[in-house]
Amino acid sequence: MIPINAPQIGEEEIEAVVKVMKSGVLTHGLGAGPMVTKFEKKFAEFVKAKHAIAVNTGTSALHLAIAGMGIKRGHEVILPSFTFVATAEVIAIVGAKPVFVDIDAETYNISPEEIEKAITKKTKVIMPVDLYGLPADMQPIRENTDKHGLRIIEDSCQAHGASYKGKPPGAFADAACWSFYASKNMTTGEGGMITTNDNELAEKMRFMRSHGEKEKYESLMLGHNYRMPEIQAAIGCIQLKKLPKFSAKRRENAKRLSAKLRKAENLQLPKEPRGYKHSWYLYTVRLKDAKRKKRDRTVEKLRQKGIGTEVYYVNPIHLMPYYRKFGKYKLQETEKAAKQVFSLPVHPGVTAKQIDFIGESVLHDIM
Ligand SMILES: Cc1ncc(COP(=O)(O)O)c(C=O)c1O
């Protein structure tokens, strides 16, 4: 099976892990060990942010950002429903209400016009997601939030190496959250990061990462243990160095696959609008005018050929059993996309020959 994504781990990562193990420094009481500090510095430089705070998962990163902004019961947070559940989960965890809005049919990202319609007196934060690795349309979102005095948390968990109007994810947001889960463009196995230019928020999130402590046993606020272990940070430093190479290979694979699939009139290929740079975390196509059953049959046929085809996201969050209590929504584009999209492997481990095989198999199964 050609997996949809696969961690790209080499000798350098293995050596870095062994070195940390031999050093005996596996973690730090406040989450700021030497490797974590180095990784944070390098990552902040990479995304041109003032601060980077490393944590144990992308979900923890989102939770710290939202809790750090003081979001709580009585507040509303606007987000797309077409995303991984973690984006909504952290809103519910702090007791606030997730308010789901529809996506743009071409990019699958949150629609800035729909955000405007959903803003109420209770709205505090907008959470756009850079879905599949394509940045959300951040400029109009920023203009809108500034007008209303709101803040933005960008879920960039899939967007390492992407850019928007020449700037890395997070440039138009108050905070951006990243995941280093094993499937991501760069990985630490599990891991996360928050980047921000806000000094006060950064300091607060650093305390909250480790029990609200500035000094040990002096909790200043409610916190967690969201610390990133030293081994993970050591892997992260190497993966970050390799990221440009990984990104170039993903781009090359995506371009080759698009060239193959261009003749399929019933397929909507992934877009990279002018001014955007895709991270190609997921190469997602849409089987136009198809019902869910037809898409599912196509996915199954491709899997039988050994192509790790997946659907992100088969169930939009507003339709998940737990999240139905937050309101009845009719999100036309979201629900349509969930029935028609599927993703194909383009990760750096996929060869040109395999891309050709994937392209030919898709053409054969859909035409
Ligand atoms: C869009 C999105 N948000 C949040 C997350 C959560 O990250 P993690 O799995 O590291 O907790 C992920 C990754 O799985 C994601 O893809």
Contact 346, 254 (CB under 8 A): yes
- Distance separating alpha carbons of residues 145 and 225, to the nearest angstrom: 31
Ligand 1 centroid, distance to 276 Cα (angstroms): 21
For ligand 1, the distance from its centroid to the CA atom of residue 13, given in whole angstroms, is: 22
Mutate to test the pocket of ligand 1, among 179, 180, 190, 228 (most ligand atoms within 8 A of CB): 179
Residue that is last in its domain, among 213, 239, 265: 239
Question: In this structure, are 224 and 347 located in the same domain?
Answer: no
Atom 12 of ligand 1, residue of closest alpha carbon: 157
Does 88 share its domain with 37? yes
**Pair (342, 233) in one structural domain:** no
Q: Which atom of ligand 1 is nearest to the CA of 281?
A: 16
Query: Which structural domain range is residue 254 located in?
Result: 244-366
Over residues 232-284, the pLDDT tens digits come to: 999 999 999 999 999 999 999 999 999 999 999 999 999 999 999 999 999 99
The pLDDT of residue 23 is above 80: yes
Residues 199-231: pLDDT tens digits?
A: 999 999 999 999 999 999 999 999 999 999 999
State pTM to two decimals.
Answer: 0.98
Q: Are residue 262 and residue 155 in the same domain, yes or no?
A: no
What pLDDT digit, counting tens, does each position of 175-189 carry?
999 999 999 999 999
In contact, 139 and 18? CB cutoff 8 Å? no
178 CA → ligand 1 middle, Å: 8
Cα 117 to averaged position of ligand 1 atoms, centre (Å): 27
Identify the residue whose C-alpha is closest to ligand 1 atom 8. Answer: 58
Distance CA 334, CA 317 (A): 10
Report how far ligand 1's centroid is from the alpha carbon of 226 (Å): 15
Residue-wise pLDDT for 314-349, tens only, equals: 999 999 999 999 999 999 999 999 999 999 999 999
95-101: long-range contacts, CB 8 A cutoff, minimum separation 24: 96/66, 96/71, 96/72, 96/124, 97/122, 97/326, 98/317, 98/323, 98/326, 99/123, 99/326, 99/327, 100/316, 100/317, 100/318, 100/326, 100/327, 100/329, 100/331, 100/334, 101/331
Same domain, 183 and 66: yes
From ligand 1's centre to the CA of 360, what distance in Å?
31
Best probe residue, ligand 1, of 56, 83, 157 (max atoms within 8 Å of C-beta): 157
Read off the amino acid at residue 302. Answer: L
Residue that finishes a domain, picked among 204, 239, 274? 239
Domain annotation covers residue 101? yes
Q: At which of 179, 214, 239 does a domain end?
A: 239
What mean pLDDT is predicted for residues 25-32? 94
Dist. CA 208–CA 220, nearest whole Å = 9
Q: Are residues 196 and 60 in the same domain?
A: yes
- Strands (E) in 168-282, as ranges, are 175-179, 192-196, 267-268, 276-277
Q: Total structural domains in the chain?
A: 2
